């Protein structure tokens, strides 16, 4: 099982960051994704617990299911399809900090093909780092 964690700070209050980060259809405005289709609404709607969404970006279509939804501090999800991994679990934690919101993204997975875990982890890490950098530049309302 491969695991990694990345962290970043977004210069905005935690409730504002939570609202933008958990609005999956809104990711097309800032996250560098082409399309997000919500296959199933969650509780609370639309992106809460049990939500299933398909994210299209970079020639891939990744399907995720939200497995934990605790506003405004924690969300977890698992990849259902679209990536060369199995048993993928991720957790995103948001903590208030002096400079805004500290985000910690923890991921664990098993690669489909033995020996490719390092490569797959590197690609995931790069994609999530880009996502956090884009979120840090988001024009949050004052």
- For each of the chain's 142 residues, which pLDDT tens digit applies? 999 999 999 999 999 999 999 999 999 999 999 999 999 999 999 999 999 999 999 888 999 999 999 999 999 999 999 988 999 999 999 999 999 999 999 999 999 998 999 999 999 999 999 999 999 999 998 6
| Phi, then psi, of 84 in degrees rounded to 5 | -80, 50
- pLDDT for 83: 86
Length of the chain, in residues? 142
pTM for this one? 0.93
Q: Report how far residue 100's alpha carbon sits from residue 39's, in angstroms, rounded to the nearest whole number.
A: 32
What is the domain partition of the chain in residue ranges? 2-136
Nearest to 130 by CA among 20, 64, 32: 32
CB 50 within 8 A of CB 43: yes
- Residue 48: other Cβ atoms inside 10 A: 17
**DSSP, res 27:** G
Residue 74 to residues 33, 84, 89: CA-CA distances in angstroms? 22, 25, 14
- pLDDT for 58: 84
CB 54 within 8 A of CB 45: no
Residue 133 to residues 111, 122, 129: CA-CA distances in angstroms? 26, 16, 6
Q: Which CATH number fits domain 2-136: 3.40.50.300, 3.50.50.60, 3.30.530.20, 3.20.20.70?
A: 3.30.530.20
- pLDDT for 108: 97
């Amino acid at each position: 099982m491969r695991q990694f964690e990345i962290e970043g700070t977004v210069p905005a209050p935690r409730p504002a960051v939570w609202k933008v980060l958990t609005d999956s259809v809104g990711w097309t405005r800032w996250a560098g994704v082409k399309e997000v289709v919500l296959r199933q609404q969650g509780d609370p709607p639309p992106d809460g617990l049990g939500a299933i969404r398909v994210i299209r970006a970079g020639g891939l279509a990744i399907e995720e299911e939200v497995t934990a939804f605790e506003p405004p501090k924690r969300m977890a999800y698992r990849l259902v399809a679209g990536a060369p991994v199995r048993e993928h679990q991720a957790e995103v934690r948001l903590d208030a900090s002096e400079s805004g919101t500290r985000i910690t993204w923890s991921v664990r997975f098993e690669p489909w093909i033995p020996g490719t875990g390092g490569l797959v982890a590197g690609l995931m890490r790069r994609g999530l780092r880009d996502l956090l950098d884009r979120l840090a530049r988001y024009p949050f309302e004052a």
